[in-house]
Amino acid sequence: MKQGKIIIISGLSGSGKSTALKALEDVGFFCVDNLPVVLLPKFLELRMGRASDISKLALIMDIREKSFLLTYSDVLESLGKQGYRFEILFLEASEEVLLRRYSQTRMQHPLAKGKRLFEAIRTEREQLKGLKRIADKVIDTSHYNVHELKAVILGHVLKVVHTGHLEVHILSFGFKYGIPHDADLVIDVRFLPNPYFVPELKGLDGTFPEVQAFVKKCDETQIFLKKYLDLLDYIIPLYEKEGKSYLTISVGCTGGRHRSIVIANEIFQHLKNKIDRVNLAHRDIELA
């Protein structure tokens, strides 16, 4: 199975396909407008040499390409059998809105030669009925402005591309040095017993077994860990479901050298066998 999903944007002319593609380009997608569908297999073959691009690839394919209607079904079916996965977004709008958009932009409809504009719109809608039927997502853009449409597209596409691939960062820190600016979840563990006030532990940090044993031996620590790890087990799959790509869990104590390190390490040990991509860092461990 090829990695990632390829986003194909299609639909009615004037429905906002270029806006959708620009939204994806802005968040790092490799974007191609009006690629002939017969060239798609060769294009994908060339791109597969760069594995990171295949999961962030978006293309507009529509009736501007003359052979599109005749060939898209066979080409996509063939590529599907090879293991490629496609997410087809079909954009449409009401006839009234499309007429107004064409009037405002003065662009020519690709099927307007020899036809009145409303006839071209109706012909295109009829010709694309089959594609609309197999689309994964149909979006009516009639009542969206440019910014709203971009938000809708990104909300859907990022969920599709990243579901199941959440990367979790666990970071210990000291409140005296500030809360990490990229924190999604912040937990304050300053309620736990502080090794700083134990002379033989003061000079050590939370990576030392003696400090870990001191922090973990109290009932409050064990009760807290059970409740918080249960919470993470519940909410992390929900973040994945909503398409979140990165989750930073920041664990803070006063100086970031003792309690926060111990608890961050416990969270890491709990999650590392449940999540493919999880890492641990101690921001303030070297600070006195």
**35 or 176: which carries more pLDDT confidence?**
176
CA–CA separation, 9 and 11 (whole Å): 7
**152 or 263: which carries more pLDDT confidence?**
263
Average pLDDT over residues 13-31: 89
What sign results for the dihedral spanned by CA atoms 141, 143, 148, 151? negative
What are the C-alpha distances in Å from 252 to residues 193, 195, 237, 264? 14, 14, 24, 9
Whole-number pLDDT of residue 1: 41
Phi and psi based region of residue 242 (left: phi greater than 0; alpha: psi -120 to 50; beta: remaining): alpha
Residue 192 · residue 218 · CB < 8 Å = yes
Average pLDDT, the chain: 88
Domain with CATH 3.40.50.300 in the chain: 6-162
Helix axes 68-81, 40-47, angle to 10 degrees: 40
Average pLDDT over residues 206-227: 96
Q: Evaluate if residue 234 carries a pLDDT over 90.
A: yes
Q: Evaluate if residue 29 carries a pLDDT over 90.
A: no
In this prediction, what percent of the chain has a pLDDT beyond 90? 52
**158 or 76: which carries more pLDDT confidence?**
76
What are the C-alpha distances in Å from 169 to residues 250, 266, 274? 8, 13, 14
pLDDT tens-digit map of 84-124: 888 899 999 999 999 999 988 888 898 888 889 999 999 99
pLDDT tens-digit map of 219-231: 999 999 999 999 9
Q: Where does the pLDDT of residue 27 fall: very low under 50, low under 70, confident under 90, or very high at 90 and above?
A: confident
Among 45-54, 160-169, 234-243, the range of highest mean pLDDT: 234-243
Q: Evaluate if residue 138 carries a pLDDT over 70.
A: yes
Q: Evaluate if residue 4 carries a pLDDT over 70.
A: no
Average pLDDT over residues 136-164: 80
Q: Where does the pLDDT of residue 3 fall: very low under 50, low under 70, confident under 90, or very high at 90 and above?
A: low
The residues near 43 (Cβ < 8 Å, ≥ 6 apart) are: 32, 35
Average pLDDT over residues 3-30: 87
The listed CATH number (3.40.50.300, 3.30.360.10, 3.40.50.2000, 3.30.420.40) that belongs to domain 6-162: 3.40.50.300
Whole-number pLDDT of residue 197: 94
Average pLDDT over residues 192-212: 95
Whole-number pLDDT of residue 162: 56
Average pLDDT over residues 19-31: 88
CA–CA separation, 118 and 198 (whole Å): 81
